[in-house]
Structure formats: structure tokens, C-alpha cells
Chain A
Amino acid sequence: MSAPQRKPSTDVQKDASMAKQKAMIDGNFDRLGNVKNTGEKVSYTFVPGNLNELIMCFDMVGNYPEINAIQNGLRKKSGGMIMEAEKWGHSEDVCTYVKADIGMMRKGNIGPTGQPIPEPDILMLSYTGCYTFLKWFELLRHDYKCETAMLHVPYTGDGVITKAMTDYVVKQLKEEVIPKYEKVSGVKFDIDRLRENLAHSAKAEDDFVWVLESAKNKPSPIDAYFGGIYYIGPIFTAFRGTDLAVDYYKTLRAEIEERIRKGQGPITPEGEMKNEKYRIVTEGPPNYTSMREFWKMFYDEGAVVVASTYTKVGGTYDFGFRHDPSRPLESLAEYCMHCYTNRNLPERTRMLETYINDYEADGLLINSIKSCNSFAAGELMMMREVEKRTGKPAAFVETDLVDPRYFSAANVKNRLESYFQMIDQKRRAGV
């Protein structure tokens, strides 16, 4: 029997690290909104396969259209933007990140924090694990008529990264990406500066992985999906390679160490989750337009997400990858190829199986996203495989990233409650 649904409290409780993270993200929006005064050049790029350490070598400020869409989704602004794009002929069938971005542009390009998003000086099209990226920046380029650097990151279809694949990406960095950035920024590339940035990344990545793996504790001190979204913010975007990110992850780690010491569970918007009843692994992105409501369906039932694949879209660091200053360009290439959706389905399935076992999870929940084929196509197959290999129950819900039309709270809640009951039954049966 599930607990009655309470209305979300209006007072949101946050860790100090969450406030710090918010200030960092907002700071980047401030920087973007102020380029008219500072004269900084603007580079647009995507989260998976982003080259933040490299872009910083050219003194440019990064804009992340996915982050804009997410932030607009969290603020319930994305729905109108998506419909605006559809009015301009974009199909209802395609990615809502793209449409939220195009719609924001058509409505005057005012960003989620109310500040203007400047036009790009360069579009860094890192084609990593998502076909839509390729079209997205072709669409933006069609409007902005700006320089575009294409980086084709080969998909690891056979589950391995070969030397030829790495060489190909490195060559593109040398012959396509770096020359274009030098031209647009007027700054000469300095590989030592890149090495320095990469060293910062590696430090932050160590602490980031420690944070993710802290969920192996019982109770888990973190929620690796809903909470994890906050944790990935700096390292997946404009801060990887900076002192700020190193400092943020150090702070976060200290905070979690303290929670482990006290035997505390994760912090939810309504305070500490005290009764860990279900340990869940999730596959797929979350829904952002009703995120708090979605999260509440978990913590009200005592469900904590101990590992998620979504927090690996910007790098699968927990499987060992670290940026390496001694091999700067090769390291960037390998980083891109290691991103979660650039891995083939057997590898993704193996990751889920590993998470279920290593984190002693009760089961797998897939949140299948209507507008993200990169994640979604094949998830039902993965679900069957993981169930078969682990013997743990799996469940499947469907929502969307930032399109509020595709979040049906009653359906999702009903499915989740049934799922938690299924876990109880399995436990009673001794499975």
C-alpha cells in the first residue's frame, strides 16, 4: 500500500553544494548575458562530447542549448517554446530539446534566467552519441550563418575504441576544430594551457566518481538520478577543467562524507529521506517539466536511485576514464567516445547489469523519453536482458524531457506503485 501523495512543500531544502552549483550555472548565464559589454566570443556546444577544456583555451564562453532547454523545462517555460517551433514547421515527432531551443530563439532568445542568450560566434558540433545533434546545429547555422566546427565522433558499434577511431578524432581536432577556434577567437592555441585544464578535470573527476560510488553505502547518502542531476551540472558543462569545478566537487564530497558518517540518506526537496526502502537503478533521462513531482513519487515511497545511466551522458568516468594531461588531444578524443550514448547496446546493458550488482539494487526502472531515440530505441530489449541476467524486476515508464504534454503524473505514479509492490513480492518470495 502506498503512502498518500502529499503536495510538494513550497520550501525547498538544499545542500550547500546545491546552492553553490546553482550559483555556478547562473554565473555562466550572467556571463553569456553580458558579452556585449565584455566582448567575449561565444561558442555553442552540446553536453556529450563537449570540449570545454579546449574551448577555454580560446577565452570563449560556452553556451549549452540542452542546458537552456532543461532550465526552461524546470521553470515550466519550455512548453510554449516547443509549440512556437512547431508553428514554424518543426514536426511534433522530433526532439523537444531542439524545439525548445528553436522556440526560444524565435521568441527573442531570452534565456531561462531572463537574460539574453547571445548569438554564437561558432557552433561546436560534437557529433557524439546522438544523431539529432547533427541536424540541430545545421538548423541553428541556417539561421545564424556562423562558423561551424564539425567533430565526428565514431560510435563504438563493436564495443571497442580502436586506434583508428582515436586518430580520426585527433586529426579532426588538429585540422578542423582548433584552426576554426583560432580564427574565430583570434587566440593562438596553447597546448600547455589545455594540459593545465585537463589536470583540473581529472581532479574533479576523481571526486565526482567518489560521489557517485558513495551510493553503494546503505543507506545511500545520495540520490544518483534526481540528486545526480545537480551533481553533473558543473562537470558536464562550462566548468569542467576549472578551479571552480575542483572546488565544487571537493565541497560536495565533504558534504557526503559527513552524511555517511551520520548514516544519513539523500537530501530531497523536503529534507532528508530517512527510510530507504527500495534501491533502484535508472536508465534514461528524467522529465524536467515535472521533476519535483516525479522525484516525490520516489521519496514518498522510500525509493532512492543508487545508480543512473543519465549521469553518464557526459562521460562514463566510473568505468575508469580520466582526462589525461600527458595525452591531451587523444584524451579528449577518448572522452568523447566514452560518453554513454556513444556506447553500443550490449555495453549499455552490461553497465546496467553491473550497477544492479555492484550497488545491490532491487531493480531497474527505465524512464523512456519520447523525443530521444538515442536513449530510447532498444531500451525494451535492454530491460529484458537485465531482468534475465540479474533476476531483478524491471519497470518501464514513458515521459519526455521538456515537453509537458508527455508527462502524465497519474500514469507514472500508478506504474511506479505497481513496480514497488512487485519488488516487495519478490522480496517476500526470497528472490
Chain B
Amino acid sequence: MATREEITNRCQALYDDLDFTAARKWKDAEPGRHVIGYMPMYVPREIIHAAGMMPLGILGGGDQLEVIQGDAYYQSYICRIPRSTIELLLTDRLDFVDGMLFPSICDVIRNLSGMWKLLRPDVYAHYFDVPQNYMRDVGGEFYIHELNVLKEDLEKISGNKVTNEALKNSIELYNENRRLTRKLYKFRADYPWLAPSSEVYLINRAGMVIPVEDHNILITDYIDAAKQEDRPKRDNSRVVISGSFCEQPPINLIKSIEISGCYVVDDDYMLVNRWFAKPVPTDIDPMQALSYTFLEASVKMPSCFEPNEDIKGQFLVDLVRETNAEGVIFAAASFCDPALLERPILQDVLNQVDIPHISFKYAENTGQMQPIREQAGTFADSIKLWS
């Protein structure tokens, strides 16, 4: 069995690879294979998989990509992820991608779908709408229609018919992926000194660029390997990170938060890998199953409307309590409308139950970690001293 270090080294290499070599290799391994890219936050990867294709999570260019052309397409007050994604496109790093999905996370990603259509009219680009009405016969029905449109589009690209049997198989695989991801999160919350946040992040990030079958093995191997190591337990404060669901912080920022004295016991990075709080049923029509689970068991996050004011923001309080966290760090990408508009409500909800919090902004290429270390370190100390 691979050691923890070997596993995390592999994931680090996948993270660093801005040419998506693993996905290219997967595609080249057999003729007729296709890759479908998707932006954060959620797409039904099951349907892509059932069409015999590989879903590829595109999370921007990080801090290693020099953005030159991408900056010419965006004003200074737009976040960084679309400009680095355009850079990836224009530098042919995504030339092997057969289609792109743009979920309804915000206006910037929404408009990026149109830019893609203008820049690459020959490549499939689809704005993937999800319902904001959660009644089965209203939003649910609309969503089933959207899922079927996607299915038909992918069938045309792949040349493969998406059968109910294939869909059920894919749903089971992704149910397992979500179960294992939650298990990993639980393991980290229970033993944060054995599973540092930076490692957990890399394990999850790998799931964006490799087949789900491989990722399921990878998570299992990591948990098994991490359990066997004896690593020193520190007197850190336990915190939840909130607001980082789209543009990702650089890995050094994640490390810096830990170095400053915080154990991150939960976060909202890459929510797609644990979007549903319960398994998608496999004993009903697969499209209905995906639709109803989306309506009734999705994670709470700012891009989705919360119809019930009484529970608005409560998910964060629950998360803090479930993970025995002592505070929340709001870490949002600069100019991120969903995270920054939501933040005052969440802060108010936390204030009502005396959960301490701090906030800062970052960009995916943030390089100066000292201010963040100081802020997070002071927060960790204040929790230890006064909470």
C-alpha cells in the first residue's frame, strides 16, 4: 500500500499540473473517449460519467499560472477565476476538452459561458441552470427537463446512449465518492493532527481531475495510511472555513492557516464532491432521483436561495457544533458576490449564538501570507485565551 507521503505527493503533482496530463492520458487511452469540463459549484457528474465521459473540474489557474491574455478580458474589479480560466483556454491547456459546463453560481461564471461560446463556437458550452424553486412539481420538473437536455447533448458528443442502467451505476459510484469524502472530512474533524487540511484539500482536489473510480481508491488509501501514522497533536484552535466554494485559495494559504495555530475541521472547498447530504436513490427513475435529491438534500451555500428565513445560516451553526469547532474564518475570494453578499447574514447568525469569527479576502494567486498568518494566529490565540 502507498504511504501517506506517496499519496499526497501524487495529489500535489496533479494539483501542480496545469496541462491536465492525467485527464489527457485518460482520454488518449482509448479511442472515442471524451472529457467534459465544469466550473464550480455543482454539476450532475453522474450523467457525464454514464455517457462514458470524464468530468473534469476546472478551478482556475491557481498561483502558478501567469495570466496575460485573460486579464485583457476582465476589468480589475472582477474576481480572478474567470480570467485564469480564459488563460487556460487561450493557451490551449484545455484544447482536449470536448465541452464545458457553467453552473449557475454567479453572474461572472454565467457570463463566462457566453464568452466561451464566442471564443470557441465549435466547442460545446452550456450554462447549466439549477432550480431555485424546491417544489417537486415545479422546480423538480424543470430540473428533470434540464437534466434530460444535458443527457441528450452529451449523447450527441459521445455517441453513447445514456441508459438507465449506466446512470444507476454512475450514481452508485458517485454516492460512494460522496460517502468517502464525508468519511475523510469526519476523520479530519476527529483527528485533525493526522489529516492536515492541506493534505485533505489535495486529496479532494485530485478528484477533480482523475476518474471517480480511481478517486474512491485514493481517498480510502489516504485514510488508511493517515491512520497509521503517529503525528504530534498541537494545541490548535478548531475552525471552520466558509466562503471558498468557487475560486480556490492557494495551497500555501491553506497551510498558513494551519501554521498559525488553527485546525481546520470543516470547509466549503469544492462542494461538488459532497453536495448531497444523503445518497441519491437507485431504486427510482435516475433523473427523478437526481432532481429530488438536489431539491431536498443539497448542501446550503450562497448560490442557492434559502426559502425559510428561520433556518437561514443555521447550517453553519450546526456545522460548528457537529465538528466541535470553536470559530469560523470567512475566507472569500475578492469580488466574489455570493460569498461576500451572504457574509453579513451568516455573521449575524453566528453572533446570535456567540460563535467567534473573522474574515479576510484572497485571490487564487495571493502570495503574501504573513498578514493572513497574523490574523488567523491572533484569532486562534483569542479563542484559546477568551472563548
Contacts and interface: CB of A to CB of B under 8 A. Distances in A.
A377 B139 CA distance: 27
Contact of A130 (B74, B107, B118): B107
A175 B74 contact: no
Specify the main secondary structure of chain B where it touches its partner: helix
Given A135-B342, A171-B137, A344-B114, A398 B75 contact: yes
Given A157-B129, A172-B138, A346-B114, A377 B107 contact: yes
Contacts of A380: 72-75
Interface stretch (A63-71, A93-101, A246-254): A93-101
A127 B305 contact: yes
A1 interface: no
Contacts of A94: 337, 340-341
B127 interface: yes
B227 to A, nearest CB: 41
A89 interface: yes
A378 B127 CA distance: 15
B337 A157 contact: no
Contacts of B73: 378, 380-381
Interface stretch (A138-146, A182-190, A303-311): A138-146
B230 interface: no
A138 B334 contact: no
Contacts of B305: 125, 127, 134, 138, 150, 152
Interface in B300-349: 302-303, 305-307, 309, 312, 332, 334-338, 340-345, 347-348
B129 to A, nearest CB: 5
Given A142-B345, A164-B145, A378 B114 contact: yes
A345 B132 contact: no
B108 A377 contact: yes
A93 B133 contact: no
A171 B137 CA distance: 9
A376 B75 contact: yes
A200 B351 CA distance: 49
Nearest to B306: A138
**Interface magnitude class on chain B:** 35 or more
Contacts of A172: 133, 138
B110 interface: yes
A150 B348 contact: no
A345 B73 CA distance: 13
Interface string A119-143: 0000001010011101110110110
A385 B119 CA distance: 10
A34 interface: no
A287 interface: no
B337 to A, nearest CB: 6
A251 to B, nearest CB: 36
A168 B312 contact: no
Contacts of A398: 75
B77 interface: yes
**Interface magnitude class on chain A:** 35 or more
Contact of B104 (A155, A164, A345, A370): A155
A148 interface: yes
Interface in B327-381: 332, 334-338, 340-345, 347-348, 361
Given A176-B138, A377-B112, A131 B106 contact: yes
A378 B117 CA distance: 12
Contacts of A88: 344
A35 B288 CA distance: 46
B221 interface: no
B96 interface: no
A425 B75 CA distance: 27
B126 interface: yes
Most chain A CB within 10 A, of B117, B132, B341, is at: B341
A93 B104 CA distance: 20
A368 interface: yes
Interface string A150-179: 101011011000001101100110011000
Interface in A59-94: 88-91, 93-94
Contacts of A344: 113-114, 117, 127
B155 interface: no
A95 B309 contact: no
A85 to B, nearest CB: 9
A374 interface: yes
B343 A157 contact: no
Contacts of B131: 152, 168
Interface string B82-121: 1000000000000000000010101110111111011100
A28 interface: no
B115 A345 contact: yes
B338 A135 contact: yes
Most chain A CB within 10 A, of B75, B108, B135, B303, is at: B75
A45 interface: no
B17 to A, nearest CB: 28
Contact of A93 (B107, B126, B335): B335
Given A176-B138, A346-B117, A377 B78 contact: yes
A175 B140 CA distance: 13
B142 interface: yes
B133 A373 contact: no
Interface in B119-158: 119, 126-129, 131-133, 135, 137-139, 141-142, 145-146
A349 interface: yes
A155 B110 contact: yes
A142 B312 contact: yes
A167 B77 CA distance: 37
Nearest to B127: A157
B341 A139 contact: yes
A385 B78 contact: no
A150 B312 contact: no
A89 B118 contact: no
A430 B338 CA distance: 48
10 contacts: A90-B344, A93-B334, A93-B336, A94-B341, A131-B106, A132-B337, A139-B341, A157-B126, A344-B114, A344-B127
Give the 7 A-B residue pairs with the shortest CB-CB distance, closest first: A345-B114, A157-B127, A135-B341, A152-B132, A168-B142, A91-B340, A378-B111
Given A91-B332, A168-B141, A373-B337, 18 more contacts: A89-B343, A93-B334, A93-B340, A94-B340, A130-B107, A135-B302, A139-B341, A152-B132, A152-B133, A152-B305, A155-B127, A158-B126, A158-B127, A168-B133, A171-B137, A171-B141, A345-B113, A378-B111
